[in-house]
């Protein structure tokens, strides 16, 4: 029955309010030895009322309608539509006699705005609560604790006007529970011990960050120098992420110095990075170290765990217990994966891999000790030492792993080098034996090659001479035809001259000297013509002899137009003499302003003769080619039936150079072989029709004269060779 009455009373008490009858006695025993302070906001005895009436700080205030609530129990229930809470807290306290007449301190947590009153008197503010019409401004830290003196034990009324947001980051309507410390009461040694405590914390936090940062930079440099060691990437990535998460968790306020919400956001990032580091990267790193394949489904599961953990940060306080279970399950799951890798790889672990196992086991043992015996550890220094072992043991084990691994690599390289050295020694001995064999073989083959080279030189000379003789043979018929005309003139004028001598003798016998002189003059003219045609025949024979003999290589001033015209006619008559069915037209277009130039006439003549013969040959082949009607319609021009073979030679002077062009309207040269026509022994003529040396020799002769020879050809249209010589 009593329990029922108590329950009913508790249900209806909120409607009647709490009378502030509870008195909290503050004694030195309540202060922690570590920093000589205690969080008064976490003890019972506080009452709360929403609103902003400054009269609620008065000592003799009627607190009817106020509710029992500790500052640390603020939640979204008390927030307005913007997510901000504003109200007053009051507590009645007495002080132990040992604390009277001594300096006591009041310190406030970040980031809400507060105004603190003692017995209705304003002692100090943090930020701006909006009193007296001033704009609200949160408290971002940086102020020293408030100092107070109490001369009487009390009771005293401590009042706190509180204004602030409860959410971690905007939007402020997110329903998260407030977890910050609001107000702390401290003893005389508080400032000294707090400074020492903060210096200790800062030292260890800096130590964690510096060690992890140095290790991450070291690992990245090693990866840069050894890009083939892929495991270094995962080690460097792991330590870098861990270092960034440490910075976000402990050092962001020193750099940002910004608002509560910015720092809270960075802290959430640190939680996310820490989750990624341990929930995702640690299993991947172990799989790489132990050379195990990681299941894609496992990766997806770990990513889901990370996402769930991050979502849990924004869930209402009613889900806090579920969030804790999710976190615990996540770490148990990941530790189970790591344990699985270690156990299944135990028999195959070698060398550097044991450093990873040792670091993982040592970290797990220290972490377990901290979780189980957290309440036993009283000293902040001792606690930070344990946390340092947790934070640094695994990264340092990675450094040990890399060091041992590189030592193993060096040993492997040395062992391989020794094997290579032994093999090299064996190979060296084999090489000496093979060298002797090869030297003998080389000496033998060198002798054969020399003999072959001599034979090739002899054959080359014979081929060149053969080419000359072949061109000479082609000239012979033309020369015979050309020499026949002056010989006919010589014979005819000789016969006529003989008859004229007889007539002149008869006239002299008759005494007709006048008629005898006339016959004598005609006879003189005949003799002049005989001499003219005899000289012409002599020059033709001389040219033939010059063409047949080896050139002296000496240049002479020669009329290039006359030389080209002479060889054109000789080539034409030579082909006519060899083949009675041959028929082709030829024409010349000479630039008379060229005059004489310095060339080796026999060599340039040989070039011209070769090009002209090829041009006539191409025209002859096209005129003789026969195709069926379908092929003729597809491949020949519309005027193919009236095709007339034509070879032309032209010359012109331009830019200090002489250009000789030999052009035909034959079949042209296929594109596939254009690049080969100047190669020795390459010919497009049937077997027995050509040696393949003509164009090759022509190319060499023109180059020797400091000129060049070019070709322009189109299939079924013809070919044009252009010789360029210095003027």
CATH number for the domain spanning 107: value is 2.60.120.260
- pLDDT class of 632 with cuts at 50, 70, 90: low
- For residue range 56-104, list pLDDT tens digits in order: 988 888 888 899 988 888 877 888 877 788 899 999 999 988 888 888 8
**Mean per-residue pLDDT, 633-642:** 52
Of 352-356, 437-441, 640-644, the range with the lowest mean pLDDT is 640-644
Backbone angles phi, psi at 645, to 5 degrees: -60, 135
pLDDT top residue among 539 and 39: 39
pLDDT of residue 64: 87
- pLDDT class of 336 with cuts at 50, 70, 90: confident
Range picked from 101-115, 448-462, 509-523 for highest mean pLDDT: 101-115
pLDDT top residue among 93 and 460: 93
271 has a pLDDT exceeding 70: no
- For residue range 356-413, list pLDDT tens digits in order: 888 888 888 888 887 777 666 667 788 888 888 888 888 888 888 888 888 888 888 8
Q: Say whether 444 sits in a helix, a strand or coil.
A: helix
Supply 712's token pair: 């322009």
Of 219-228, 304-313, 525-534, the range with the lowest mean pLDDT is 304-313
Of 405-419, 472-486, 513-527, 611-625, the range with the lowest mean pLDDT is 472-486
CA distance 460 to 469: 14
pLDDT top residue among 157 and 416: 157
- pLDDT class of 619 with cuts at 50, 70, 90: confident
If asked whether residues 146 and 206 sit together in one domain, one would say: no
Are 270 and 310 in contact by the 8 Å Cβ rule? The answer is no
- pLDDT class of 9 with cuts at 50, 70, 90: very low
192 has a pLDDT exceeding 80: yes
pLDDT of residue 1: 40
**Mean per-residue pLDDT, 491-500:** 74
pLDDT top residue among 313 and 459: 459
426 has a pLDDT exceeding 80: yes
Count of structural domains, the chain:
3
Identify any residues that bridge with 159 across adjacent strands, giving them in sequence order. Answer: 90, 117
pLDDT of residue 312: 63
Identify any residues that bridge with 103 across adjacent strands, giving them in sequence order. Answer: 149
CA distance 315 to 130: 30
Question: Could you tell me if residue 293 is inside a domain?
Answer: yes
- For residue range 109-129, list pLDDT tens digits in order: 766 888 999 998 999 888 888
Residue 30 belongs to what domain range?
19-188
Of 160, 188, 216, the one marking the end of a domain is: 188
Of 145, 164, 188, the one marking the end of a domain is: 188
- For residue range 670-724, list pLDDT tens digits in order: 888 888 887 776 677 765 565 556 777 888 888 888 888 888 888 888 899 999 9
**Mean per-residue pLDDT, 244-269:** 61
pLDDT of residue 14: 38
- pLDDT class of 461 with cuts at 50, 70, 90: low
97: Cβ contacts below 8 Å, ≥ 6 apart:
153
Question: Could you tell me if residue 540 is inside a domain?
Answer: no
pLDDT top residue among 655 and 487: 655
636 has a pLDDT exceeding 80: no
If asked whether residues 95 and 229 sit together in one domain, one would say: no
pLDDT of residue 217: 92
Question: Could you tell me if residue 561 is inside a domain?
Answer: yes
The fraction of the chain above a pLDDT of 90, given in percent, is 6
CATH number (domain holding residue 682): 3.30.565.10
pLDDT top residue among 630 and 637: 637
- pLDDT class of 450 with cuts at 50, 70, 90: confident
566 has a pLDDT exceeding 80: yes
Give just the sign of the alpha carbon dihedral 506, 509, 510, 512. Answer: positive
Of 74-88, 173-187, 201-215, 570-584, the range with the lowest mean pLDDT is 173-187
CA distance 86 to 80: 9
pLDDT of residue 15: 36
Are 607 and 702 in contact by the 8 Å Cβ rule? The answer is yes
If asked whether residues 30 and 142 sit together in one domain, one would say: yes
pLDDT of residue 307: 72
Q: Which residue shows structure tokens 């210096």?
A: 199
pLDDT of residue 699: 82
Are 241 and 223 in contact by the 8 Å Cβ rule? The answer is no
- pLDDT class of 611 with cuts at 50, 70, 90: confident
C-alpha closest to that of 89 among 72, 111, 110, 109? 72
If asked whether residues 172 and 239 sit together in one domain, one would say: no
If asked whether residues 254 and 165 sit together in one domain, one would say: no
Question: Could you tell me if residue 81 is inside a domain?
Answer: yes
If asked whether residues 134 and 274 sit together in one domain, one would say: no
Question: Could you tell me if residue 40 is inside a domain?
Answer: yes
If asked whether residues 143 and 263 sit together in one domain, one would say: no
Residue 473 has, within 13 A of its CA and on its CB side, a CA count of 7
- For residue range 655-679, list pLDDT tens digits in order: 888 889 999 988 888 888 888 887 7
Planar angle of CA 423, 428, 429, nearest 5 degrees:
105
If asked whether residues 158 and 239 sit together in one domain, one would say: no
If asked whether residues 321 and 223 sit together in one domain, one would say: yes
Question: Could you tell me if residue 402 is inside a domain?
Answer: no
pLDDT of residue 639: 47
pLDDT of residue 89: 93
Of 349, 365, 385, the one marking the end of a domain is: 349
272 has a pLDDT exceeding 90: no
Q: What is the CA radius of gyration of the chain?
A: 58
The fraction of the chain above a pLDDT of 70, given in percent, is 77
pLDDT of residue 256: 42
pTM of this prediction? 0.47
**Mean per-residue pLDDT, 557-578:** 82
pLDDT of residue 595: 83
- For residue range 591-601, list pLDDT tens digits in order: 888 888 888 88
579 has a pLDDT exceeding 60: yes
If asked whether residues 101 and 244 sit together in one domain, one would say: no
Of 35-44, 279-288, 646-655, 662-671, the range with the lowest mean pLDDT is 279-288
The DSSP output letter for 79 is -
pLDDT top residue among 624 and 541: 624
If asked whether residues 139 and 82 sit together in one domain, one would say: yes
Question: Could you tell me if residue 519 is inside a domain?
Answer: no
Question: Could you tell me if residue 317 is inside a domain?
Answer: yes
If asked whether residues 182 and 209 sit together in one domain, one would say: no
**Mean per-residue pLDDT, 120-141:** 82
Helix (H), strand (E), coil (C) string for 132-201? HHCCCECECCCCCCEEEECCCCCCEEEEEEEEEECCCCCCCCCCCCCCCCCEEEECCCHHHHHHHHHHHH
Output the average pLDDT for the chain.
77
301 has a pLDDT exceeding 60: yes
CA distance 228 to 235: 14
pLDDT of residue 404: 86
pLDDT of residue 90: 93
**Mean per-residue pLDDT, 618-638:** 59
Are 167 and 139 in contact by the 8 Å Cβ rule? The answer is no
pLDDT of residue 91: 92
- pLDDT class of 280 with cuts at 50, 70, 90: confident
Q: Say whether 468 sits in a helix, a strand or coil.
A: helix
Q: Say whether 717 sits in a helix, a strand or coil.
A: coil
**Mean per-residue pLDDT, 438-447:** 84
Query: Strands 183-186 and 103-108: what pairing?
Result: antiparallel
- pLDDT class of 260 with cuts at 50, 70, 90: low
């Amino acid at each position: 029955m009593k329990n029922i009455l108590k329950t009913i009373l508790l249900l209806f008490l909120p409607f009647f309010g709490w009378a502030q009858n509870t008195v909290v006695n503050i004694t030195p025993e309540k202060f922690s030895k570590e920093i000589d302070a205690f969080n008064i906001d976490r003890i019972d005895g506080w009452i709360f009322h929403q609103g902003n009436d400054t009269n609620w700080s008065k000592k003799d205030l009627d607190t009817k309608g106020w509710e029992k609530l500790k500052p640390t129990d603020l939640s979204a229930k008390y927030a307005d539509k913007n997510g901000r809470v504003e109200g007053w807290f009051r507590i009645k306290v007495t002080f132990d006699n040992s604390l009277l007449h001594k300096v006591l301190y009041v310190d406030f947590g970040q980031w809400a705005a507060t105004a603190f009153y003692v017995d209705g008197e304003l002692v100090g503010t943090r930020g701006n609560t909006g009193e007296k019409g001033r704009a609200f401004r949160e408290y971002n830290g940086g102020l020293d604790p408030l100092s107070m003196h109490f001369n009487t034990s009390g009771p005293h009324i401590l009042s706190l006007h509180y204004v602030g947001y409860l959410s971690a980051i905007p939007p402020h309507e997110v329903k998260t529970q407030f977890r910050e410390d609001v107000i702390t009461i401290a003893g005389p040694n508080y400032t000294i011990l707090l400074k020492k405590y903060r210096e200790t914390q800062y030292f260890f936090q800096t130590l964690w960050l510096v060690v992890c940062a140095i290790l991450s930079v070291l690992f990245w440099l090693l990866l840069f120098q050894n890009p083939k060691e892929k495991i270094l990437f995962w080690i460097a990535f792991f330590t870098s992420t861990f270092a960034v998460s440490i910075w976000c968790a402990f050092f962001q306020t020193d750099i940002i110095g910004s608002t509560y919400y910015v720092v809270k956001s960075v802290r959430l990032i640190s939680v996310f990075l820490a989750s990624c580091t341990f929930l995702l990267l640690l299993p991947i790193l172990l799989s790489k170290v132990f050379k195990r394949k990681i299941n894609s489904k496992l990766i997806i599961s770990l990513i889901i765990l990370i996402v769930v953990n991050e979502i849990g940060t924004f869930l209402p306080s009613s889900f806090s217990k579920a969030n804790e279970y999710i976190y615990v399950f996540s770490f148990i799951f990941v530790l189970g994966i790591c344990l699985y890798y270690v156990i299944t790889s135990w028999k195959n672990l070698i060398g550097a891999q044991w450093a990873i196992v040792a670091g993982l086991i040592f970290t797990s043992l220290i972490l377990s000790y901290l979780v189980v015996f957290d309440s036993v550890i009283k000293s902040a220094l001792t606690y930070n030492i344990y946390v340092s072992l947790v934070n640094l043991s695994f990264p340092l084990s990675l450094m040990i792993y890399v060091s041992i691994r590189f030592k193993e690599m060096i040993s492997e390289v040395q062992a391989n080098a020794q094997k290579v050295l032994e093999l090299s020694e064996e190979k060296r001995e084999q090489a000496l034996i093979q060298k002797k064999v090869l030297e003998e073989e080389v000496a033998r083959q060198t002798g054969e090659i020399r003999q072959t080279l001599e034979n090739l030189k002899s054959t080359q000379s014979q081929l060149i001479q053969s080419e000359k003789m072949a061109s000479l043979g082609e000239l012979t018929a033309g020369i015979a035809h050309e020499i026949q005309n002056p010989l006919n003139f010589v014979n005819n004028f000789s016969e006529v001259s003989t008859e004229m001598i007889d007539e002149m003798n008869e006239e002299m016998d008759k005494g007709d000297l006048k008629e005898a002189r006339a016959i004598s003059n005609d006879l003189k003219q005949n003799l002049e013509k005989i001499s003219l045609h005899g000289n012409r025949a002599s020059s033709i024979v001389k040219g033939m002899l010059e063409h047949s003999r080896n050139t002296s290589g000496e240049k002479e001033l020669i009329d290039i137009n006359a030389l080209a015209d002479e060889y054109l006619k000789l080539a034409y008559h030579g082909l006519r003499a060899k083949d009675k069915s041959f028929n082709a037209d030829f024409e010349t277009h000479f630039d008379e302003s060229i005059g004489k130039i310095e060339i080796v006439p026999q060599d340039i003549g040989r070039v011209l003769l070769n090009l002209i013969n090829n041009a006539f040959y191409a025209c002859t082949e096209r005129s003789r080619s026969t195709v069926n009607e379908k092929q003729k319609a597809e491949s020949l021009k519309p005027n193919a039936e009236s095709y007339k073979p034509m070879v032309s030679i032209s010359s012109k002077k331009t830019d200090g150079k002489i250009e000789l062009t030999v052009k035909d309207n034959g079949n042209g040269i296929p594109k596939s072989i254009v690049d080969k026509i100047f190669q020795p022994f390459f010919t497009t003529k049937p077997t027995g029709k050509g040696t393949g040396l003509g164009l090759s020799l022509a190319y060499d002769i023109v180059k020797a004269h400091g000129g060049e020879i070019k070709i322009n050809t189109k299939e079924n249209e013809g070919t044009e060779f252009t010789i360029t010589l210095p003027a």
